[in-house]
Structures are given as C-alpha cells and as structure tokens.
Structure 1
Amino acid sequence: MAGRLFAATAPASLQGDWLDDLLTGSKRLALAHAEASARGGLDWVETTATTTGDGWKLTGSKPYCVAGGGADGYIVSARISGEPGDNAGVALFLVPAASPGISAHDWHMADGSVACSLELGDVIVPSGNKLSDDGLAAIAAASDLAALARSAEALGIMERIFAETIDYLRTRDQFGSALGSFQAIQHRMVAQYAVIEQSRALLNLALVSWGSDEFANAVHGARAYIAEASVTLGHEMIQFHGGMGVTDELAIGGGHKRLLVLSRWPEGPLAALDRYAGLLN
C-alpha cells in the first residue's frame, strides 16, 4: 500500500532517494492515515500541516499505522485546509522515521505483525516532501489495489488451510474410521469448497476488470464476500482440528489470525458491501 502510494505521488527527486531501496526491501515505508476519531471513510483527518519557512510543520496523532514497526519512513496524511470530514484539503507528506518530534510506539496486531502509533509533535519536513495535494484521492486509488491484494492473499490462505484440513480428515481416525468418511463432515467441507470457488470467481472478475470503470466496484464486491467468508472458513477448519487447530504447530491457527486482520483492516466486510452498493464513496 505505502510503496504503491509513494510511487504514484512522489516527485522525481524523492523517488531517486527512496524507490530503488523500497523495491529491494532495504527500506520500508508505512501509511499513517487512520485516526482515532474516524468512524469509517477516508476523509476524517485532524492532523494538520502548516507552512513554516521553506517546509511544513505536522502536528497530530496517527494511532493505527499498520506495518509501521521498524519502518524507515511514513506517508502521513495531514489537513492543509478545511475541517475534519471535508473531502478536499488533505495532503500527503513523506516523514522520515528519524525526524525530530516524531514518536513511534509499536504494538502487535492479531496476526503478530507489528503496527505502531505515531505522535507528531510539530515535526518539520522540507517542502519537497509533500507528495500530493489531493491525498484522499491518491489513497482511494491505492486502496482499491490494496483491497484486491488483501483478497488474493486471503484466498491463498483459505486454499492452504482447506488443503491441510483435507489431509487431516483423511488420516485422523475416529471410531475406527477416517474422519473424512463421515457424511456430515463431508457436507461441511463441500460447502467450504464452494466458498473457495466463489471467492476465486469474484477475484478473477475483479482482475479482468482492471482498467475499466467496473474495476473498483468489482474489487469492493470481491472483498465484501471474501472478507466475511474467509473468517467463517477459518472457524470451520479449526473446528475440524479441535484444540490443535489454534496452536502454533499448525498453519491453521496462524492462517486464521491473518484472515481476521485481512478481513477487518482497514474496514470490515459490511463497509466494503456498502461501497459495492454505492452507499459509501
């Protein structure tokens, strides 16, 4: 998300300093956009940016900086005009992690990945570090591709934990028979197989819509379905394994934790469904 956003908005001078290292992985960026007072949508930004000398002064708090732990820099959204909730007046700034006045506190998400909470206490960045004057539009464009990537990752996890459960049901004996021989279990596994196939079809529809006016809507539809269905599938696979399903020894529990994060960040499946229905911008 952050790398794509940087490549789409950064001026040539900044790309020369950062892009090659981002591509090789020797540097990492994280997006710092969501704020504590936001209640859905992209436009609630209270962090402010004001001009000072030949630069900008950023002040505010970004408590939900996903993948921000150990990042070398942050793409920070800040309001240069208007009020929180306005669709215009939000710019994006590149803020190096070592900038004076910035404070990052790491915290762990459900899947073990490291996010951070940022406090920006009058952080000064050069004028050339402003990436975009229309930050919300840039984030929205990158968010569609990020949602597609999250859905694809979720589908891959669904396939992996489903395949491992099939192997387990074929080899685990109960009452002298393999668990997979019981018809009730077969019915439940068939239902989840159908979920995987439907998820794949929706993802493929989004992929072939790339470049058309239907792309964003197809992504929202795929995400709305996959985000909800993937968590249910994870629950089922854990149930078939019993208590072993939530241990670190198996991929089932770890995969399900990742599915939880993918399905709920940056918004839940109901919000994606509202976007698909045209109820949210």
Structure 2
Amino acid sequence: MNFEHTEDRRMLADSLNRFISEQYAFDARDRIAKSEHGFSKEIFQQFAELGVIGALFSEADGGFGGGGFDIAVVFEALGRGLVVEPLLGAVMVGEAISAAGSDAQKEKLGDIINGTVVAAFAHDEADTHYERTRVQTKAERNGDGWVLHGAKAVVPQGEQADLFLVSARTSGNVDNEAGISLFLVPAKTAGLTVRGCPAIDGGRVAELSFDGVKLGADALLGAEGQGHATLERAIGRGVLALCAEALGAMEAAKTATLDYLRTRKQFGTLIGSFQALQHRMADLLLEIEQARSAVINAAAAIDTGDRLTRERALSAAKFSIGRIGALVAQESIQMHGGIGMTWELPLPHYAKRLVMIDHQLGDEDHHLQRYIALGKELAQ
C-alpha cells in the first residue's frame, strides 16, 4: 500500500506549517493560550480561510478532504505548533452531523467549515472513566421536544462554543449501549450553564450544566436511543486527530532536543558526542517512528467499512501514542537538563501537551484493554 501523501495533502501541509511558523510562534501561542478566550478567533478564522477546516470534511459535506490521512496531515501540523484553536471539536461534531444528521442539520456543516460556528463535543462526565456508554445526563420527552438534565465535564473551549453535541440517556441503564441519544444544543439555550477554567496544557475547558434545558424535536441527531454508533464514529475521528497531533508534538520535541545536543557543551565538548546520550536519542527516534506507523495504520483503517478493524487500529494507535508520548516528554526534558524545566522554553509545554493528550478520549490503559476486548470480539 502506498502511504505517500497526495500532492494536495503535501501542499496543505506546507502552507499550514508555513502559516504556523510565521503567525503562531511560541510567544504568540503562549499569549493566546493564556488569554481570556483560550484561543484566537482571528487565527481560527484564518485557518478556515486557508481551507484547514474544509480539509477535515468530505466534498459531500462541503469540504475537500475528510479522509483519515487528511485529518492526520492537519493535526500533525497543529501539534508541531501547539495550536489551541478548537479544530478537534469541529472534526468530531462534524463527523456526527455528517453520519446521522438530517438535511436541515447538515446545513450547519457549512458554518463549521467556514469558521463562523465553533462546535464543541460534550460527552465526558465526571465519573465516566473513559467509558463511552456510561452516560448519566438524561433527556426526557416534552411534547414533541426534549428536556435535558445533567452535566458534562472538561469540554474543550466550551466557553466560546456556539454549538454543542451532547450525549444523553433516553432509556436503559447508565452503562447500556442502547438508549444513548445525541442532541445539538445551541450555546445560548435557556437552562444551559457554562463554567470555564484554564486547561493545564493551555487554552480553556468548561463544565456544562443542564437544568431543564428545553429542546425542539429538531435537536435530536439521528434516531432516538441509537446514538452509540454515531458517537463511536465521532470519537474515532477525534482519537486519530489527537494521535496525529501528538506525533507533531513529538517531532517538535525531538528537533529541539537534537539541536540542544548539537550546541550544548560540557567539559569542553558537545554533549551530543557522548555515547550514552547518542544511544538514548537513537532509541527515542525509533520509538517516534513506531508512533508514526501506528498513526498511519489508524488513518488507513478509519475509512474502512469494518468496524472492528477500524476501532482496533485506533485503540492501538492511542495506546502507542500514550506510551511513547510520555517517553518523549521525559527523555527530552532529561537530555536538556535543568533548562528543560523552565517555562520560557517551548519544550516543557510540548511535554505537558503530550502527557495530557494521553488523557483525552481514553488513556493508554483504557485503550489497551479496549484493544484486547475488540480482539476477543473479532475472534468470535
């Protein structure tokens, strides 16, 4: 199989990397990440104008990409720049609307693609422990519409979102796969409270509270009680995006570490000449290539019709990224010595982001267990 990128993807990667290097230098990124909004709406709009968001969607949805490798190209570049703008929400909410939305709901995709609507994925709850089927937020019938009660936790860029994709239970027990429904909830809906706070790795996250939030019948995305398959597809795209983002962050950390080894002197000689450090760096390079292979495998599998193949590849990649990301973070900082712990240096910010990516959409332990469970299911 040929894994070389198409000419269009190479051009997209080149233009995106150039834009980030020119307009999103570390100092600018640090100011944006610590700002009141947690991201720059102007930069987000420029990403849309560059076609970055459109590359995450298929032509049928108004974009010009939408494949696994399109997502990987975009998010690897975003990872190199530690970009905090809410493109993860765009790809996940967009996938759900594309997979299950009505014609009227799919009209929202155009606004997501052109950057005028910020979409956020609201599924995690305080004690779900990464379990996708554990949904305690409830939606009850209210005439032709619905009423939502419950809460969602750690919603990236939730304060500035215009539209939320919310999972809620309409039937079944708290852990049942059946009975999960998905709803599109505008941010200004009465009864919805959004409370934000800074994220540990930059940007902001929010907690959503639904206190009798009334929704019309048109808010339901897909069939009632059958949202799990759509949820799985949306999370799958998010997992791939995070893995590719982590790969970009690893490459940036690797480059910074190599540069440091080639310039820092100790005992009158470059520390890169020390054999012990050369061996550690060689091991690190091999691990990063292992991570790249896992991302390629996940990107190739995500568009297949075979659910088990797709989900196993995604969990394998997320497990690998979690393990290798932590290793890259630790080794890069250790080989930098004391300066590697200073916040003025970009490296510790990459390290922190790599560690936090492991905890988004399931950590390495969760995905290892899931990979094993899916293997048993495949063998039956």
The answer to whether the superposition gives a TM-score over 0.5 is yes
Render the CA deviation track for 1:25-51: whole Å, top value 9, x for unaligned: 221111111112323411111111111
Q: Which residue in 2 is equivalent to 1:2? A: 93
| Range that drifts further, 170-179 or 35-44 | 35-44
Counterpart of 1:234?
329
Please list, as runs of the form range in 1=range in 2, the aligned pairs for 1:200-239 lying within 5 A after superposition.
Answer: 200-209=292-301, 210-211=303-304, 213=306, 214-239=309-334
Partner of 2:260: 168
More helix by proportion, 1 or 2? 2
How many residues end up aligned between the 2 structures? 280
Q: TM-score, normalised to structure 1's length?
A: 0.94
Distance 1:206 1:40 in 2: 20
Q: Distance in 1 between matches of 2:114 and 2:234?
A: 20
- What is the 5 A alignment of 1:1-281? 1-16=92-107, 18-132=108-222, 133=224, 134-209=226-301, 210-211=303-304, 213=306, 214-278=309-373
Report the CA distance between 1:114 and its aligned residue.
Answer: 1.2
Q: Give the conservation status (yes or no) of the 8 Å contact 1:75–1:92.
A: yes
C-alpha separation in 2, matches of 1:39 and 1:172: 43
Q: Distance in 2 between matches of 1:231 and 1:207?
A: 22
Q: Deviations over 1:189-239 (max 9, x none)?
A: 111011011111222222333415322212211211111111111111111
Query: CA 1:212–1:20 in 2, change beyond 3 Å: closer, same or farther?
Result: closer
CA contact (8 A) 1:110 1:260 kept: no
The C-alpha deviation readout for 1:106-139, integer Å capped at 9, x for no partner, is 0222211211001100001110010023222211
**Separation in 2 of the partners of 1:10 and 1:279?**
28
Instruction: Tell me, in whole angstroms, the C-alpha distance in 1 between the residues paired with 2:127 and 2:321.
Output: 27
Q: Kindly tell me: are residues 212 and 100 of structure 1, through their superposed partners in 2, closer, same or farther at Cα, counting changes over 3 Å?
A: closer
Q: Is the 8 A contact 1:246 1:254 kept in 2?
A: no
Equivalents in 2 of 1:260, 1:52: separation in Å? 43
The answer to whether the 8 A contact 2:196-2:206 is kept is yes
Answer with 95-104 or 223-232: which moved more.
223-232
Does the 8 A contact of 2:148 with 2:213 survive in 1? yes
Using the alignment, how far apart are the partners of 1:92 and 1:197 within structure 2?
37
Deviation at 1:164, TM superposition (A): 1.2
Unaligned runs of 5+ in 2: 1-91
CA 1:52/1:41 → structure 2, altered by over 3 Å: closer, same or farther? same
Tell me which amino acid in the other structure corresponds to 1:100.
A
Q: TM-score, normalised by structure 2?
A: 0.70
Secondary structure of the structure 1 residue equivalent to 2:159: coil
Gaps of 5+ in 1: none
Identical columns (%)? 36
* C-alpha RMSD over aligned residues: 1.7
* CA distance 1:226–1:37, shift in 2 (3 Å): closer
Shift of 1:78: 1.0
